[in-house]
Amino acid sequence: MKQYRIDELREEDYYKLLNYLRENTDHSPMQEIYWINLPEYLYDDTQKKHKDCQPFYIAVNLNFKSISFEWLIRSRQKIHCSCIKYANKVQRNYIIDLADSIFERLGIRS
């Protein structure tokens, strides 16, 4: 899986991230996985056309030692479709900037 991963979290950083994710994202049915909606202005042409597959989201996996922001852009409506694919360059940069901004907001040094 392609992803932006930050490891070697300190215990206090894990709890800061956990609280942030619980308050600001959607929790998936799977433990340790959170969903962050991808802004519509970042949808590529295929994703814009697939109204039935929207909204698209980024999966975030938080465990005690690391946090990973997956680069696979997923749909909440379907599991398999041509619009479900790895982030393009603009989407990937957004994911990296988003992760970095969360760390900055929480005062976590990565």
| Whether the predicted model's global pTM rises above the 0.85 cut | yes
Q: Evaluate whether residue 19 is within a structural domain.
A: yes
Q: d(Cα 62, Cα 60) in Å, to the nearest integer?
A: 6
What pLDDT does residue 95 have? 98
Q: What is the pLDDT of residues 10-60, one digit of tens each?
A: 999 999 999 999 999 987 777 789 999 999 999 999 999 999 999 999 999
Number of structural domains found in the chain: 1
Task: Tokens for 100, please give them.
Answer: 């970095």
Q: Evaluate whether residue 35 is within a structural domain.
A: yes
Task: Tokens for 56, please give them.
Answer: 């698209």
Share of the chain above pLDDT 70, in %: 99
For residue 46, what are the domain limits? 3-105
What pLDDT does residue 50 have? 96
Task: Tokens for 16, please give them.
Answer: 């800061």
Average pLDDT of 65-79? 94
- pLDDT bin (cut points 50, 70, 90) of residue 110 is low
Helix (H, G, I), strand (E, B) or coil at 72: strand
Average pLDDT of 88-96? 98
What pLDDT does residue 31 have? 77
- pLDDT bin (cut points 50, 70, 90) of residue 68 is very high
Q: d(Cα 82, Cα 19) in Å, to the nearest integer?
A: 34
Strand 85-86 to 26-27 pairing? unpaired
Q: Evaluate whether residue 110 is within a structural domain.
A: no
> Contact, 85 vs 73, CB < 8 A?
yes
Task: Tokens for 66, please give them.
Answer: 């690391």
